[in-house]
Structure 1
Amino acid sequence: MEFSPDGPLAIPLWINGHAFLTVTESFYNVTHPTTGESLRRVPLCGTNEATAAVTAARAAQTTWAEMGLAPRRVCLAKLADALENYTGHFAKLLMQDVAIDEAAASAEVAAAVAALRGAAVGETGVFALVTDAARPLANIAEVIAPALMAGATVVVKPSPRAPSAAYALCELSARAEWPAGVLNLLQGDTAAIDGLCTAGIDRLVYRGNAALGVDIGAIADAAGTPYVMLPA
């Protein structure tokens, strides 16, 4: 994934195996945590976009599950290999979004690669993952890999403060020839989370700051959606 050097660029969603463009009323400006430079923009999505993402994940889930464990492991291994090959690019995205140094960024990419390669088998179904801005790549890989191994499909909703590596990972999954709809990306904040719950996911999973997790849990409870808050 290459971003234009000519100014802030809106990062699209990723739905059903391709970039998904949408028009929203507002955007979040992604700024460099140290310099304050405006880097990118993300659309603050709601119910319509969440429904499209969940519909794609639901449509792909049966076929993905029926592929069998060995082919799914091959898919995750191909993504891990591709991610490792693009370590420098992903490290740069992390350094821009969360202002960590190169060593820490490279270590986070390595952790994500290890998670994809060494995933145990988790719980299947169609689920949404919400993360905060801490470890925005590794947290995603560590949570989704076991579920994907089990045959689950997923919609990832990263923090609008650190969305870049998540989008790049989705783009890389297409280059690794993943089936469309297995991995989807929704941008936004609380309205997007509410949309995911009302769209009929099997569970909402959150990993990050505990205080934010309580607020997200309240959204899930109001919608009657099973909710799991994982330790940061």
Structure 2
Amino acid sequence: MKVIGHLINGALTHNDDSGAGFRLQDVTNPSTNEVLGKVSLASKATVEEAIAAAETAYPAWRNTPTAKRVRIMYRLRDLLEQNADKICELITLEHGKVLNDAMGELQRGIENIEYVCSAPEMLKGEHSKNVGPAIDSWSEFQPLGVCAGITPFNFPAMVPLWMWPMAIACGNTFILKPSERTPSSALFIAELGIEAGIPAGVLNVVNGDKEAVDTILTDKRIQAVSFVGSTPIAEYVYTTGTAHGKRVQAFGGAKNHAIVMPDADLDNAVAALMGAAYGSCGERCMAISVAVAVGNDTADTLVEKLKEQIATLKVGDGMDNQNDMGPLVTSAHLEKVQGLIATGVEEGAKLVIDGRNLRTPGLEQGNYLGACLFDHVKPEMIIHSSEIFGPVLCIMRVETMQEAMDIIDRHEYGNGTCLFTRDGEAARYFSDNIKVGMVGINVPLPVPVAHHSFGGWKRSLFGDLHAYGPDSVRFYTKRKTITQRWPASGVREGAQFSFPSNG
């Protein structure tokens, strides 16, 4: 059976396989729950070996010209495109999302690589001549050293590509710890990075669980950590990492609301909501899981149109592009989502469409759940306060847009939101005043493109800097400012005791 190991110092290794502490975990196909292979869970010693390799590689890599580092990124982009079908197959086999969805994920990752290729421009410093008598001053951006990324199961290709390409283009070395549920695509992409020319030790991958995470968070050789996952773990990563002197950005959970105004184009809004709520089986931190309808007439029409569209959804194996939605990632997660659905019913929400009744002939052992639709959801209900992370859309009913905005602003999460309307004044007011980090107007998944930055507000983000885009350059570098003066030869100067100024 295939064993998925680690990539350390430029070579694939299982590393722990001779030790008493060797641990393996099954990697399964969520469409069938068939075991695809086993992933090696790194021990503390294995992670420390990867950190040592990165630390050893750092001095030479730091001093490698930026243009040379970026040429590797160009080659990597080409290799990703050439191997796209294989990468997407690995994603779908381990995660379950439909192949077309996996291809969209990979394309977003490639777009990030293309942005990274502009690193020589972004790393240019600033220079000022004669800031004082014969004094010049300039600033430059220097790498931090060894950095690390801890990434989630739901975007096993895209999220790592948010992190390590920019980190190493800026001159850092990197340790990637992918999700142990979906390890293969991240490891294969890292191998392509080595093929593209990344030197040994500059990029390392360690698969593992909490033991690996805690080693990353506490080892003093690691200078910065980027994390994407649930809010409780994000908070743990942030508090632990910063307590050990690291720069940390930790992206947590979400509960993304869409407000549907009475003047909205409801047919287009429903089409958008279908993809945003049920795409990738709802396992997206930017998924729309709550639609807040302004007015009962709007809500009634919205629910009827959603019912019609849900009836046409095709749910099945993600390897078949004819399907709209695949399975949930694990049987444990399926049980969790089913439990939250039951809680919603107990709380008094109306379950208009019950996806628990879905039948998938030939795939009965898979983690399948059909699209679910709740109506008359109240703010205090658990299905509204919790991130369900499944194919569940909740409808809430309010009288005004301001009431809808108040519901969104009171929620602990502030990742993404959108407004469906034809009213420009309402759209401007909403986008200017809503307390959420990423806002769409008639755009249900307002994920920024590669040359902007991704990040939410409130308990959706711990740390000050967002992912990829301009913020990633700031996260993976530190500014140094140099002030220089060369006194004229033979000129003697007296001591100056007042604070220096140009006055």
TM-score (norm 1): 0.90
2-structure distance, mates of 1:197, 1:229: 12
What's 2:57 paired with?
60
- What is aligned with 1:229? 250
The structural deviation recorded for 1:11 is 0.6
Q: Select between 81-90 and 53-62 the one with higher mean Cα deviation.
A: 53-62
Residue matched to 1:184: 204
Is 2:217–2:237's contact at 8 Å kept on the other side of the alignment? no
> 1: distance between equivalents of 2:209 and 2:157?
18
TM-score, with structure 2 as normaliser: 0.43
Name the structure 1 match of 2:14: 21
Alpha-carbon shift at residue 224 of structure 1 (Å):
4.5
For the pair 1:217 / 2:217, whether they are aligned, the reply is: no
Aligned equivalents of 1:209, 1:229: Cα separation in 2:
9
Hey, what does 2:114 align to over in structure 1? 117
Rounded to whole Å, the distance in 2 between the matches of 1:47 and 1:224 is: 19
Shift of residue 197, structure 1, vs aligned partner: 3.0
Question: Which gives a bigger RCO, structure 1 or 2 (Cα 8 Å, sep 6+)?
Answer: 1
Task: Give, as a single letter, the amino acid of the residue that structure 2 aligns with 1:134.
Answer: N
How big is the shift at 1:35? 1.4
Does residue 153 of structure 2 align to residue 133 of structure 1?
yes
Spell out the pairing of 1:65-214 with structure 2 (5 A cutoff): 65-119=62-116, 120=119, 121=122, 124-199=144-219, 200-214=221-235
Shift of 1:34: 2.5
Q: Which runs of 5+ in 1 are unaligned?
A: 1-7
1:32 to 29, 50, 58: 29
**Kept in 1: contact 2:144–2:224 (CA 8 A):** no
Paired residue secondary structure (2:222) = coil
The answer to whether 1:11 aligns with 2:31 is no
Determine if contact 2:53/2:201 at 8 Å carries over to the other structure.
yes
Q: CA deviation at 1:166?
A: 1.0
Q: Deviations over 1:68-109 (max 9, x none)?
A: 111111011111110110000000000011101111111112
Q: Which residue of 2 is the match for residue 3 of structure 1?
A: none
C-alpha contact 1:193 1:219 (8 A) present in aligned 2: no
Q: Deviations over 1:7-56 (max 9, x none)?
A: x4111100111102222432111111221111121111121011111111
**Structure 2 Cα separation of the partners of residues 85 and 16 of structure 1:** 25
- Structure with greater proportional helix content: 1
Provide the rounded CA distance (Å) in 1 between the counterparts of 2:52 and 2:151. 21
**Equivalent position to 2:45, from 28, 35, 48:** 48
Larger strand proportion, structure 1 or 2?
2
Q: Which amino acid aligns with 2:248?
A: Y
Distance in 2 between residues matched to 1:99 and 1:31, nearest whole Å:
10
Q: Which amino acid aligns with 2:223?
A: D
Larger radius of gyration: 2
Contact 1:81 1:113 in 2 (8 A): no
User: In 1, distance between residues paired with 2:114 and 2:50?
Assistant: 26
Once residues 93 and 78 of structure 2 are traced to their aligned partners in structure 1, the CA distance between those partners, rounded to angstroms, is 23
Q: How far apart in 2 are the matches of 1:216 and 1:161?
A: 19
Q: In the alignment, residue 162 of structure 1 is paired with which amino acid?
A: T
Q: Which moved more, 1:212-221 or 1:127-136?
A: 212-221
Q: Is the 8 A contact 1:124 1:147 kept in 2?
A: no
Question: Per-residue deviation at 1:158?
Answer: 0.4
Q: Is the 8 A contact 2:150 2:227 kept in 1?
A: yes
The root-mean-square deviation of aligned C-alpha atoms, in Å, is 1.9
CA distance in 1, matches of 2:230, 2:150: 11
Structure 1 residue 221: Cα displacement: 4.8
Seq. identity, %: 27
Are 1:157 and 1:186, in contact at CA under 8 Å, matched by a contact in 2?
A: yes
Partner amino acid for 1:186?
Answer: V
Deviation for aligned residue 1:162: 0.8
One-letter code aligned to 1:77 = Y
- Flag structure 2 segments of 5+ consecutive residues without an equivalent: 124-142, 252-454, 461-503
